[in-house]
Structure formats: structure tokens, C-alpha cells
Amino acid sequence: MQRRVLLATSNPGKLRDFAGAAAPYGITIANIPHFSSLPEVIEDGATFEENARKKAESYSLTVPGELVLADDSGLEIDALGGAPGVHSARYAADEPHTAECNTDDEANNARVLRELNGVEEKKRAARFVCVLAVARDGQTLHTFRGTAEGVILDTPRGQHGFGYDPLFYFPQSGKTFAELSAVEKAQYSHRGAAFRAFLEWYRGANGREL
């Protein structure tokens, strides 16, 4: 059974999240060799799935024969009509839908807090969404979706994680995602859920000589 899967990301937080989710199963998550030197794939899809598929297909062409995982993920806040959504990583930009570069985590969090100013806690429901795509040689083999339901706090808590983790309170754990270890987060997170769906497929696919 193949035990290594390559992850198409330059985000160390994502690599840590997926490695934490994979560790209990003896699977190694590694970055694509020389990933930083590869041409960047523009994430201009209208959905998380479109962006995940585009990245997985494009980057898998750089490592022939290897399985490549790519994700697109973000935060959906009900009170903001589902924003920041697919623009989560560049939400602090003046026009997130046209921004070519990600914006700073703190700036993204600050914008969310500004927009939720005065909104009471019971109306701050939100969810993290992750769509994973697995591809080989430019072809998507499957996609997987995971979600985590929570509430946006009015002040950040915790030193772990990245992105919106310090604001995202997960009632089931009694903590924000930034207060969880990588292994704990994998049990609850949207990425952990998507990865477990991938793992179930992966095990079956290997039985069919993936």
C-alpha cells in the first residue's frame, strides 16, 4: 500500500494539519519537491471544489505518477451571507475577488471582527469548509468535503493554528481551533473530516491497485 501522498501547498499550517490527521494511519504527507519554485495556480474558481481540482490537476503534472492532494478551504459566516467563503485567504484586500495575493491573517481576522461588530453571539454561527481533490498526472480522481460548525468570537483566543482559528470557537471541544493541538484539531476540523473521507477512499482504491 502506497504510504506517501504529496500536498500542493505553500502554507505550513495546512501541511501541519494534514500531517496531524494522517499520522495515526501511518501515512506520510509531504510537500511537492521544490513547490515554491513552481508557477502559482490562480485560484479563480467560484467554489471550493473548482479551486481544489484546478490546483490538484495542475500540480500533479509536475510529479508524474504521484498522488497529489490539493485543498481549498475557508470560513462561511451566516451573518455575512456566507462571506468570506472562497475569498477567505485574501479577505482584507479592498477587492478580495480580484486580489492576486493572500492577505495577512491578522488583517483578515480584523475585517471579520469589524463586520460583525454589534452582532450578538447567537447570530455569529459559522462553519469552516474544506474540499480536497486528489489527482494524478493531471486528472482528478476524486473530491472530498468536510465541514466544522462553530461560532465566531469577538476576541481571538489561542496560539496554535492559523487563519481564522483564533476566532473560531468549536462548542464540542469548548475551545477555539487555535487552542487545539494538531492532533486534536484533526479530530474536529473540516480538514480532518475531508481527510478521513479521502482515507476511506484511499484504502479502498489501494485494494484496487491504485
Q: What are the domain boundaries of the chain?
A: 4-207
Amino acid at residue number 3:
R
Burial (CB < 10 A; 0-12, 13-18, 19+), residue 64, is exposed
pLDDT for the residue numbered 103: 92
Look up the CATH number of domain 4-207. 3.90.950.10
pLDDT bracket for residue 150 (50, 70, 90): very high
Q: Taking each helix axis as running N to C, give the angle between helix 12-22 and helix 190-207, from 0 to 180 degrees, rounded to the nearest 10.
A: 50
The share of the chain scoring above pLDDT 70, in percent, equals: 97
Examine the pLDDT at 208 and tell me if it is beyond 70: no
Q: Which residues are catalytically annotated? A: 72
Which pLDDT does position 206 carry in this prediction? Answer: 66
Alpha-carbon distance of 52 to 143, in angstroms, equals: 8
Per-residue pLDDT at 105:
94
Q: Which of 1-5, 104-108, 121-125, 171-175 has the lowest mean pLDDT?
A: 1-5
By C-alpha distance, which of 47, 120, 50 is closest to 78? 120
